[in-house]
Structure formats: C-alpha cells, structure tokens
C-alpha cells in the first residue's frame, strides 16, 4: 500500500515587484529593496506554518543582459534581507528563458511550480500564488492553486480586469497574508 498523504501547502511568490521592488532586469544585489509590507506579510505566513517558495521569470539571462550568477547573487541578497527579519524561503526557482523560447517553465506555464512540488513535496491545489502580473494569476489557474494579485510592481495595470474575474487584489504582501489567513476563496 502506498503512502497517500497529500503534499503540503505553500505560498508561491513572484520575486520582482512582489517580494522586492521592481527594477527592470535587476542584476545588482546592491539595488535589492524589499517591497513595503513584504517582510511583515512573509513573516506572518512563515509563523503560520506556510512554506514560502519563489518562482521568478528571469528572461534577462536568455536575452544576454546578465548570467545565472547575477540572478543567484540577487537571490542571495533577498534571502539575506528576509533572514534578517526571521523569514526563510524553502525553494528558489527561476526560468532563464525568453517568451520566444516557448519553454514549460516560464510563467504562466507550470514547469517551475511542478518542479517545486516534486522537490519540496507540495500539493499545488492547496497552494496560493501571489504576484504582480496576470501571468502569476494564470499560473495559479494552470496548477489549480488560488491566486492573489498585489498592486506593487506591475500589478496596478491588471487589477481591475482581474478583480472583475474574482481575483483578490491586495496592496502588499502584508494585505495578501490577511487574505490567505482568512482562507478567502474566489
């Protein structure tokens, strides 16, 4: 008889414009700044037992603007700032491709989320996806997760259309944490 326990839930997070301030094709760790409310919201999620996982499109690699080492350095800086506030990220997943590559990992495609689920033992249907773009919401739909759009980063541009589709719209990760804590369905 096989072990039929379901995987664990997690909060899947976009990096740029959601956890950190959007900087077009960020490759310099010195420019990393946490979004307002990010540390507080992520700390409360972690304290409530949620695993936190970053899923980030990084087409700057595919475009030749910077290499994987630059992305890793930025991620290390983000991890350091979060750790100073008592927050650990369970997994970091990046897509280095451009949209023209038509890969399975670039959001809204499910590749990064499926890889995280396999490696971290996640049940994607019990997860939330929080991001600042329609592609983050579409990823949530593709994997059967619930979505929240934050209006930091690029989020304000898609807010009204996604609100009309029933997606919770939040001003920050601190506000998104309250929606997740309440288990608000849509």
User: Catalytic residue among 3, 16, 104, 175, which?
Assistant: 16
Sign of the CA dihedral with 55 first, then 57, 17, and 165 last: negative
Longest dimension (CA), the chain: 52
Inter-axis angle of helices 111-120 and 134-143, nearest 10:
50
Q: Backbone phi, then psi, for 138, in 5-degree steps? A: -65, -35
User: Catalytic residue among 3, 14, 132, 175, which?
Assistant: 14
Active-site residue 101, yes or no? no
Task: Quickly list H helices, the chain.
Answer: 38-47, 59-62, 68-84, 111-120, 134-143, 159-164, 173-182
Say which residue the tokens 């890969």 belong to: 103
Answer left, alpha or beta for residue 126, where phi above 0 means left and psi between -120 and 50 means alpha.
alpha
**Which residues, in sequence order, are CB contacts of 74 under 8 Å at separation 6+?**
26, 27, 28, 29, 32
Which residues are designated catalytic? 14, 16
């Amino acid at each position: 008889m096989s072990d039929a326990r379901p995987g664990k839930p997690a909060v899947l997070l976009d990096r740029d414009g959601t956890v950190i301030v959007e900087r077009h094709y960020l490759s310099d760790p010195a420019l990393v700044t946490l979004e307002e409310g990010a540390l507080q919201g992520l700390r409360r999620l972690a304290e409530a037992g949620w695993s936190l996982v970053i899923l980030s499109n990084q087409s700057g690699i595919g475009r030749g603007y910077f290499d994987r080492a630059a992305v890793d350095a930025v991620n290390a800086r983000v991890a350091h700032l979060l750790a100073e506030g008592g927050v650990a990220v369970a997994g970091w997943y990046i897509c280095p491709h451009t949209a023209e590559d038509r890969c399975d990992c670039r959001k809204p495609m499910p590749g990064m989320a499926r890889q995280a689920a396999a490696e971290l033992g996640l049940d994607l249907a019990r997860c939330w996806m929080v991001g600042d773009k329609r592609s983050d919401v579409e990823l949530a739909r593709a994997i059967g997760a619930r979505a929240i759009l934050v209006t930091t980063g690029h989020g304000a541009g898609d807010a009204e259309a996604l609100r009309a589709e029933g997606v919770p719209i939040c001003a920050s990760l601190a506000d998104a944490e309250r929606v997740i804590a309440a288990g608000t369905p849509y």
